[in-house]
Amino acid sequence: MSFRPFSLLLAALLALAAAPAPAVQPDEMLPDRGLEMRARGLSRELRCMVCQNQSIDDSDAPLARDLRILVRERLRAGDSDGQVLEFLTARYGDFVLLKPRFAWHTAVLWVAPPALLGAGAIALLLVARRRRSAVAGAEGARLSAAEEARLAELTGARD
């Protein structure tokens, strides 16, 4: 009996179990499919204030559920996606957005990673250039007659 098919089946089942499942409950869903799709899209952009590392679409926290319901209420009331996001950021601040907007107070979040990457690339180029010049300088340097004699003396002593 081979365990290979069993282990492959077990691995597939574990992979499916590990996939994040949306936390949206059936009683939260809107009957209008278009509104529901908009609500799901917005829910993926909003941070769960409890979990802080998940969207409210993926979180089972009670506050995330409340936010999902609030998003759906605002959409039913006729708000656009932008108006819903504005309402939530006015109430909870920019932290509620998983991808913060570019503003003066979030500039470090947007500018620092590329700046650090650029500084690292420049540092690597400088180190590589310095090593190349050191190797080229070492190859071009000749020993004096006294140094050659001393080297011959030292290497001859080891034989």
Report yes or no: 49 and 96 within 8 Å, Cβ to Cβ: yes
Tell whether pTM > 0.85: no
Residue 108 half-sphere exposure toward CB, CA atoms < 13 A: 1
Task: Decide: helix, strand or coil at residue 102.
Answer: coil
Q: What is the pLDDT of residue 40?
A: 87
What's the token pair of residue 155? 């290497």
The pLDDT tens digits of the residues spanning 1-19 come to 566 777 777 777 776 666 5
Return phi, psi of residue 83, to 5°.
-65, -40
Query: Could you read off the pLDDT of 23-80 as tens digits, one per residue?
Result: 666 666 777 788 888 888 888 888 888 887 888 888 888 888 888 889 999 988 988 8
